Copies of this chain bind each other. A is one copy, B any other.
Amino acid sequence: MSKRKRKHSRMHRVPQRRPGSAPGSITVDPSASPTSIRVLAFGPDRLEERDLADVEALVQVRGNWPVTWIDVAGLADTDTIQRIGAILDLHPLAVEDVLHTHQRPKVDYYGESCFVVARMLSREEIGRGEQFSMFLGPGFVATFQERAGDCLNPIRERIRAGRPRIRGAGADYLAYSILDAIVDEHFPVLEHYGERLEQLEDAVMANPERDVIRRVLEVKHDLVSMRRAIWPLREAVNELLRDGGRLLTEETKVYLRDTYDHTIQLIELTETFRELGASLMDVYLSSVAQRTNEVMRVLTMISTIFIPLTFLAGIYGMNFDVQTSPWNMPELRWRYGYPLTLLAMALVGVGLLFWFRRLGWIGYRVSAPRE
């Protein structure tokens, strides 16, 4: 359970703020991963890729290549990140947003560049989500993620492999490609939840254990979190389409519209799954109620048959003295008293069985629950 708890807390974590602090002031998160910077600078014909130890080297890279991708993983070194912001002329408030994770996905425009925040999921670690921030400026894309490891390797490979479309296009096409990959990474994660919901639905119906509610709740929590990430993501992509005029070419916009369609599909799937999750609780309750009904029927049939019979046996177990009075239990001395009593008991029992059949309690549900 400790695992669940941790995860749950992570998903619904309330952003930490220090009320009254000045805007743009940075709070260092002690648990942040160490920062590493990799630069991919390329044009149609050439490519330079290197890890940046000293952030000042960025000054020389910038502006000398058609497209530069500054790819930062790990947010521990806030000074370096603020220095990158200064070199690239990024707005301090946006840099603050990079460092204070748990922003909602959004698009902001500052001067010539545009700032996108999204949530990056991972099909490898379901439930892991990290903040992904991206700046798109003239000739450069700067991306910031909380930890190394992401879903962008196919893009890096396409750049390295020299694919003409990505190498020949501008920074806006690179930004689109990155955003598209991040959006599409949601699909396998959602598929995972779809499968878990199917399993839970079967579990709820076959065997409504208490543990199942817990698992249903977990999936519900996760879907609520996904929803909180996906709705504003759709808005952000839409805003980019609508207002990104200066930054995006018409062709990139056509592609981005495709990404926008994907965010709508994500929303529809999330809502569908949320609805399924919600109905599972009802199914659970119905299933438990039905099982209780079956248990009760067994109890009632057994009790209804044997309690009267036991009473009958109790009658003839009384010790009234047959000697002192002829009125006292003369049956005990009849020749067929015992067999007749047994017969009466059998008749009562069989009569009750027939009654139960008429009530519909026997016949279709005395066997074990079918699977």
Contacts and interface: CB of A to CB of B under 8 A. Distances in A.
A261 interface: yes
A223 to B, nearest CB: 11
A37 interface: no
Interface string A54-92: 000000000000000000000000000000000000010
How many copies the complex holds: the figure is 5
Contact of A337 (B21, B158, B320): B320
Contact of A295 (B16, B153, B300): B300
Contact of A313 (B185, B315, B327): B315
Nearest to A5: B198
Contact of A327 (B268, B291, B306, B339): B339
Nearest to A186: B19
Contacts of A188: 14
A231 to B, nearest CB: 9
B304 A298 contact: yes
B228 A258 contact: no
A338 B314 contact: no
A337 B325 CA distance: 9
Q: Interface size for chain A: under 10, 10 to 19, 20 to 34, or 35 or more residues?
A: 35 or more
Contacts of A220: 279
A130 to B, nearest CB: 15
A20 B184 CA distance: 8
Secondary structure class of chain A's binding surface, majority of residues:
helix
Contact of A15 (B214, B265, B341): B265
Given A12-B194, A293-B295, A338-B329, A284 B281 contact: no
A344 interface: no
Interface stretch (A42-50, A138-146, A205-213, A242-250): A205-213
A316 to B, nearest CB: 4
A337 B324 CA distance: 10
Interface in A272-321: 272-273, 275-276, 278-279, 281-293, 295-300, 302-304, 306-311, 313-321
Give the 10 A-B CB pairs with smallest separation, nearest first.
A20-B154, A313-B314, A19-B184, A316-B318, A14-B191, A299-B300, A20-B181, A317-B317, A325-B335, A19-B181
Interface of A: 1, 5, 8-9, 12, 14-23, 91, 93, 103-104, 106, 108, 151-155, 158, 163, 165-166, 177, 180-185, 187-188, 190-191, 194, 198, 201, 205, 207-211, 213-214, 217, 220-221, 224, 228, 254-255, 257-258, 261-262, 264-265, 268-269, 272-273, 275-276, 278-279, 281-293, 295-300, 302-304, 306-311, 313-322, 324-325, 327-329, 331-339, 341-342, 358-361, 364-365, 368-371
Given A303-B303, A316-B319, 17 more contacts: A1-B371, A12-B273, A14-B191, A20-B151, A210-B291, A213-B290, A224-B272, A281-B286, A284-B286, A289-B292, A291-B293, A310-B311, A316-B318, A320-B332, A321-B333, A324-B333, A327-B336
